[in-house]
Amino acid sequence: DAGVTQSPTHLIKTRGQQVTLRCSPKSGHDTVSWYQQALGQGPQFIFQYYEEEERQRGNFPDRFSGHQFPNYSSELNVNALLLGDSALYLCASSLGQGDSPLHFGNGTRLTVT
C-alpha cells in the first residue's frame, strides 16, 4: 500500500525563479492538501484540491498555485521566489470531501538563495 510520495526531496533555487513540487497521494485517496512548514512552526495550509479543483485556500499570495490531475496526483507551483519561501513543503492526502484523516508525505525542502 503506497503512501504519499513527494518529489524532489530537496531543492535549491535562486530568488525570482519558479519551482514545481509534485505529490502522489496514498492509494485510494482523492484529495490533496499542501502545507508550508517553517522551522520550529506547525504546517500552514496553502490549499486543497478535490476533483481537480481548488476547494479551499489559505492566506498565501497568488504566486502559489496548484493543479490536480485525473489520477489525483498534484503539483504546487511557486513563482517569483522570495527568500521567505524557504521552508519544508508538505503534501497530505485524504479521502473525499469529509473529515477523513490526513496522511502526509516526507516533504520537499526548498531553499531559496
Partner 1 sequence: KQEVTQIPAALSVPEGENLVLNCSFTDSAIYNLQWFRQDPGKGLTSLLLIQSSQREQTSGRLNASLDKSSGRSTLYIAASQPGDSATYLCALIPNAGKSTFGDGTTLTVKP
State the binding string over 75-104 for partner 1 (x if CB under 8 A, else -): -------------x-x-x----xxx-xxxx
How would you label 50-84 residue by residue, b for 16+ Cβ within 10 Å and e otherwise?
beeeeeeeeebeeebbbebeeebbbbbebeebeee
> Distance of CA 23 to CAs 11, 40, 102, Å?
15, 23, 14
| Nearer of residues 56 and 113 to partner 1, judged by Cβ | 56
CB of 101 to partner 1, least distance (A): 4
Q: Which residues bind partner 1 (CB under 8 A)?
A: 4, 6, 33, 35, 40-45, 48, 55-56, 58, 88, 90, 92, 97-99, 101-107, 109
